[in-house]
Structure 1
């Protein structure tokens, strides 16, 4: 006698089959587990820090053996840098590469107390940093006073000396990162989907029946992407400059150098797109492959916040990513007034990445 049909068992069978299908889908696993985990880790590192990172130089002749300096060195987000070269130090101040220069002078010393005069030199280029560092410095001295039970302002007093230079705005940091974000996204996702669809629709196969060479096919499709994305870069920079006062130190010359840098970076990023289009078996597998390449760079390459905000052990990884070098070069050219010839270390690394990526793309890329 046949058993009655069990809707419950059918439900379990469907659930089991569907779960297997989900677990076998790279897109589902990566978007549901991998991406949220990456975001949690990255923002956990940022949130676990003790605030912005300050790069401080000690003035030549400053007292280096005192309780104020010892207390500041206990902060994990204060990093003391070499200040031997006065010309380089002044350039770093003017360009906002360091928060400021600290000069601590001992003015009173007795058997039971010591008093210091603290000069802090900075420029408006680092206004976003010194505006929070100064209260931290003053609070540190206040805590020392309380610990010594000597009352307020007995250990030392802070004298800020702020020099007026170009004002560093938030847009001067954010816009280069967003432009790099746009170029990387277009280079990877745009090229990957484009060439995958051309293969799927047999467009490339039809090209083979014509005298058009493979090189012309790749260059033609790639050139259209480059032109479109450079137009996008012009719009981003134009809106940033005219609407939000994004700094272009040398005007049109700076703009043209940024466009050349963007062209180089876009060619490199498109190489990643060729690799993804060759690896992908289905259209649905393109986003997981592409995001494995792009997401770490979006988060770790100084796109939204400085690389210095990450733990010291993670920073070497950040400095291996090609987008990091585009962002660094972009900020040096736009705000610091550097030229392309001054950014050869960053451009050299981008070109090295380009050579590696295109060698891999040639081996992986499929025409059919």
Structure 2
């Protein structure tokens, strides 16, 4: 009696073999895990220090003066002392420092400190000189309020501070890098895999076996799905434990992010099928794939918010599927929303998936 061929066992066997192949591929591991982790480590160690202003201190400055000591307490101000005058002048011209300050103490009739301040800057430092001026003016105004109390036209009441979560750099960067790693890995690995299977006639040989075409695709998809979800677990864990990445609802938020990861991989694999179908040679795959991935890497809010782009460019950014996956990740992770709250994002990504897979079916070739 003939044993009925089990399509699901064949699917799992293909998935295991494909997963082993992915793990043995240095490029797959580097692009899916290596690059995102490097970027996360870089941005994580940078932290939220914000913008800092470097200012050279003239050798004639009285470093014991009240004003100098107050400026030295400003975290966003980096005072550089002990540098030769000629070298400091050269750094100022090149824009390496924002200004050179000289503070000299003056005699005063009262107990209040008095000093003379001279600031020199250059056209090369025009981007930060206004910030330095506001810091310097603020320190002087505060000192004036302490030593020369005066009447004001308004009384400012104590600031009311509402409870809230601090939005760290890692909370913006990690979802963007996770999304882009899913896009690039799904597109490149799928395109190269199925192109090579077609070129080596492996797909053609599958026709001689009882396994159905759908199960071939599902087997390869399952392998990539497992690999990318495992990579997402590593990325999220490092971001959470090492740099304080926000997972508002803990485990439930974590699992919702994994669902978005799997959903994104399935959709983005469609782009890989399209690339493998229209590529005529292996050397044409990277240019075609980069046309799909690079604009989304730059414009879909991976490193910079879409709102920061010019108004005429934002509509283009907002039709990209990666933009909506980035938004969904950030809303779930930091804002505490759930999958049913990001219906717009999931709907747009689904619409892209339907269109892409229709195109993939039209251009896909088995031999």
After TM superposition, the score normalised by the length of structure 2 is: 0.58
Q: Distance in 2 between matches of 1:310 and 1:158?
A: 37
1:303 aligns to 2:293 (yes or no) = no
Deviation at 1:362, TM superposition (A): 0.3
Q: How far is the alpha carbon of 1:162 from its aligned partner?
A: 3.4
Q: How does 1:92-171 map to 2 (within 5 A)?
A: 160-171=159-170
For 2:8, the equivalent position in structure 1 comes to none
Aligned to 1:199: 198
Per the alignment, do residues 154 and 347 of structure 1 end up closer, same or farther by CA in structure 2, a change over 3 Å counting? same
* Structure of greater Rg: 2
Alignment partners' CA distance in 2, 1:164 and 1:294? 39
Secondary structure at 1:162 match in 2: coil
The runs of 5 or more residues in structure 2 that have no matched partner are 1-49, 52-130, 142-150
- Report which structure shows greater RCO (CA 8 Å, sep ≥6): 2
Are 2:226 and 1:227 equivalent residues in the alignment?
Answer: yes
| Correspondence 1:170-181 to 2 at 5 A | 170-181=169-180
Give the secondary-structure state (helix, strand or coil) at the position aligned to 2:334.
helix
Partner of 1:123: none
Cα distance in 1 between the residues matched to 2:299 and 2:153 = 43
Deviation at 1:222, TM superposition (A): 1.3
Residues 52-131 of structure 1 correspond to what in structure 2 (within 5 A)?
none
Question: For residues 107-162 of structure 1, what are the alpha-carbon distances to aligned partners after superposition, in whole Å with 9 as ceiling and x for unaligned?
Answer: xxxxxxxxxxxxxxxxxxxxxxxxx9xx79x99xx9xxxxxxxxx98799797543
Please name the residue that 1:331 is paired with: 330
Task: Give the whole-Å Cα distance in 2 for the aligned partners of 1:153 and 1:317.
Answer: 49
Whole-angstrom distance in 2 between the partners of 1:287 and 1:254:
35
Moved over 6 A (4+): 152-159
Give me the whole-angstrom Cα distance separating, in 1, the residues matched to 2:300 and 2:157: 35
Q: State the partner residue of 2:212.
A: 213
Please give the per-residue CA displacement for 1:251-291, whole angstroms capped at 9, x wherever unaligned: 11001111111111111100000000001100000000000
Write the distance in 1 (CA, Å) between the matches of 2:274 and 2:155: 60
**CA distance change for structure 1 residues 182 and 363 in 2, over 3 Å: closer, same or farther?**
same
Task: Classify 1:291/1:159 alpha carbon distance in 2 versus 1 (closer, same or farther; 3 Å).
Answer: farther
In structure 1, the gaps of 5 or more residues are 1-50, 53-131, 143-151
TM-score, normalisation: structure 1:
0.58
Distance 2:199 2:158 in 1: 69
What's the CA shift string for 1:274-332, capped at 9, x where partnerless? 00000110000000000000001001100011001100111011110000000001000
Give 1:350 deviation, angstroms: 0.5
Q: 1:158 to 1:208 in 2, by over 3 A?
A: farther
